[in-house]
Amino acid sequence: MEMDRRDFLEKTGKYIVLFGAATKAWDFILAGTPEATPDYDVTRHWWAFYIDIEKCIGCGNCVRACKEENGVLREPFYFRTWVERYHIMPPDPADPKAERLPIVDSPNGGYDGFPERYRDGDGSKSFFVPKMCNHCTDSPCTQVCPVGATFDSPDGVVLVDKTYCLGCRYCVQACPYGCRYIDPRTQTVDKCTLCYHRITKGLTTACCEACPTGARLLGDLKNPKDPMHELLRTQKVQVLKPHLATGAKLVYRGLDGAVR
Amino acid sequence: MRDLFRDAEHLFRLATVFLVLLVVFLAARALLIPEGFGTYGHYRGGALQEARARELRFAGRDACLDCHEDIATTKMNAKHAGVGCEACHGPLQAHVAEPSTVVPEKHDANALCLVCHAENLAKPRGFPQINPKEHAGEDHCITCHDPHAPLPLKE
């Protein structure tokens, strides 16, 4: 076949362009139709959580919803989320130097609500603090796992690979927030997954869904339109144990200094 | 050539030992490290998919709107606008999936109201709380209140 330089450049040029287009198209053919592929992209989310203590009424809906949604054992008393009641006495005027520790209770994690224990007029203050995994950016629990069974997902959720967990309990000890427990059914560690099966489908967590006062809010910090940004900008917020530098992504509004 | 390898037998033996160790190491590695380990980090990549696989129990309030628009409208401008349907009615994904066969059970309205509205010192000030005996005696909450739009009172 006779071919001069002009023909050669023209033909190879065409083939290069067509080949490029074909490989690109092949990628899409392999990936299937957009409906068939899960459209959740882990790199485009960064989950965080916001709890407004001043809105929490201690009804226990979140505790019940979490156990229901995630199949957490009702007894013995293990929780992925629970509610604590703090009862703090002001300094005694007769002896203001004496330390008065807060009284904290959490009957069955708040599963059945809180029976009234305190009477009005003693000058105390009391409030509810819902607790759960802080989904730390630099989580101590993942750092101590010897086998890589617990990990920070690319979208900022601390998860457990139950098929890989040894049940060695290092992470249970490492978590400064007490958010992990050993599931007696599997003898592996269990914790809040931030309802990973829900948030990756565009739903909110079960506890947010069940919270009647809107005290709980799931936020995606990589989404510029997320209402969380506005709250973080306008409200005074704090994380638990900030001195531990865990990069906790569970932020509280109205957090009292007595809360540990 | 022969001179080169003379008295080098021990080196070959050593090399064989190293080779065997290498093969054992590689085989053990291939056998013990699970598939997908290291895709995203120091963990099994498939664990992400497994965490997503769990079945839903709560459908989410948007799912209720498809059929129960009337109640959504009642609720929209009332005190309970921010309360999700499943906060009181419980998890109902099963009902959403099969609305005709799975019928949600009726709740004891009195008990449900008191889950939130029973008096408790630790509740935030301004949140409506009642002592049921003082507030209504033996009456049921729903005699006066519509749970979807609790105020104003029923006619």
The ipTM, to two decimals, is 0.85
Per the CB < 8 A criterion, the answer to whether A184 and A178 are in contact is: no
- Could you tell me if A70 lies within 8 Å of chain B, comparing CB atoms? yes
Q: What is the pLDDT of residue B80?
A: 93
Q: What is the pLDDT of residue B19?
A: 97
- Could you tell me if A240 lies within 8 Å of chain B, comparing CB atoms? no
Q: Which residues of B touch A (CB under 8 A)?
A: 34, 37, 40-44, 47-48, 50-58, 60-61, 82-84, 86-88, 90-91, 115-116, 118-124, 127
- Could you tell me if A85 lies within 8 Å of chain B, comparing CB atoms? yes
DSSP assignment of A36-75, as one string? TS----GGG--EEEEEEGGG-----HHHHHHHHHHT--SS
- Could you tell me if A198 lies within 8 Å of chain B, comparing CB atoms? yes
Q: Which residue of B has its CA nearest to A63?
A: B87
Where would I find the H helices in chain A? 5-31, 61-70, 140-144, 170-174, 196-199, 206-210, 227-234
Contacts of B91 in chain A (CB under 8 A): 65, 68-69, 206
Q: Looking at beta carbons, which pairs linking B76-83 to residues 24 or more positions away fall under 8 Å?
A: B77/B149, B78/B148, B78/B149, B78/B150, B78/B151, B79/B149, B79/B150, B79/B151, B80/B147, B80/B148, B80/B149, B80/B150, B82/A212, B82/A213, B82/A214, B83/A212, B83/A213
The partner residues of A190 in beta bridges, in order of sequence, read A181
Q: What is the pLDDT of residue A35?
A: 38
Q: Which residue of B has its CA nearest to A151?
A: B43
Per the CB < 8 A criterion, the answer to whether A197 and B53 are in contact is: yes
Residue B135, min C-alpha distance to chain A (Å)? 17
- Could you tell me if A190 lies within 8 Å of chain B, comparing CB atoms? no
Residue A57, min C-alpha distance to chain B (Å)? 5
Q: What is the pLDDT of residue A30?
A: 56
Q: Which residue of A has its CA nearest to B35?
A: A164
Residue B38, min C-alpha distance to chain A (Å)? 10
Contacts of B50 in chain A (CB under 8 A): 161-163
Contacts of A114 in chain B (CB under 8 A): 120, 122
Contact A212 B34 (CB under 8 A): no
Contacts of A152 in chain B (CB under 8 A): 41
Contacts of A86 in chain B (CB under 8 A): 122
pLDDT in 10s for each residue of chain A, 260 residues: 677 888 888 888 888 888 877 776 666 555 544 333 468 999 999 999 999 999 999 999 999 999 999 999 988 789 999 999 999 998 888 999 988 899 999 999 999 999 988 887 778 899 999 999 999 999 999 999 999 999 999 999 999 999 999 999 999 999 999 999 999 999 999 999 999 999 999 999 999 999 999 999 999 999 999 999 999 999 999 999 999 999 999 999 999 999 98
Residue B121, min C-alpha distance to chain A (Å)? 7
Q: What is the pLDDT of residue A34?
A: 39
- Could you tell me if A196 lies within 8 Å of chain B, comparing CB atoms? yes
Contact B57 A68 (CB under 8 A): yes
Contact B87 A119 (CB under 8 A): no
Contacts of A203 in chain B (CB under 8 A): 56, 58, 60
Give me the total of CB pairs closer than 8 Å, taking one residue from chain A and one from chain B: 132
Contact B44 A148 (CB under 8 A): yes
d(CA A112, CA A200): 30
Q: Is A103 in a helix, a strand, or coil?
A: strand
Q: Which of B54, B56, B87 is closest, CB to CB, to A211?
A: B87
Amino acid at A119: R
The region of weakest confidence among A25-34, A181-190, B62-71, B83-92 is: A25-34
